[in-house]
Amino acid sequence: MAADDPNPREGLRHGRNETEEERADRRWTDIMQEIRVAQTGVQILLGFLLTVVFTPIFQGLERADKTIYVITIVLASLATSALIGPVAFHRVVSGRRMKPRAVTWAARLTFAGLVLLVATLTSALLLVLRVATRNTYVPWLVAVVFTWYLVCWFALPLWVRFRHTSDE
């Protein structure tokens, strides 16, 4: 790189000794792999939830359970759209030399999708356990599972990230 180079950062390699474009390509591949895991689960859950309203037992549900169902199906729809969003985003901006920005937005959509998926799973669990048991401990059990989701999906990774950053 010459001292009089008009763009001294162009071609600069950092981290894994990769250019910004190579990094964007790698990060894009990583995000797509992550989405494949979450997207399949949320799509299956949404498909199942879409059929529940057509079952005979649905008509006999209490008003509160029907409300939880509506909330759950809306959350599942939102999670599905957020997790599919990066694919549509990429398709719309593909070929416009915007991959680093596309990766940033894809990561944001994926994170939003994961948050919505936690809410969907928690809501679905609440509905199923309420209908299956009618016990007063259900909200407590759901709260424990919700906490476990938060620990596994967010708290642990953030703790490791913070710990790793402070060790450097």
CB neighbours of 83 closer than 8 A, spacing ≥ 6?
35, 38, 39, 42, 109, 110, 113, 117
C-alpha to C-alpha distance for 139 and 160, rounded to whole angstroms: 30
For the chain (168 residues), the mean pLDDT of every run of 10, in chain order, is 48 69 90 90 93 94 96 97 92 86 94 96 97 94 98 96 74
H/E element holding 158?
helix 156-167
Q: Please choose, from the candidates 142, 147, 149, the residue with its C-alpha nearest in 3D space to the C-alpha of residue 41.
A: 149
What is the predicted pLDDT for the residue at 17? 85
What is the predicted pLDDT for the residue at 10? 53
C-alpha to C-alpha distance for 121 and 79, rounded to whole angstroms: 10
Look up the pTM and report it. Answer: 0.82
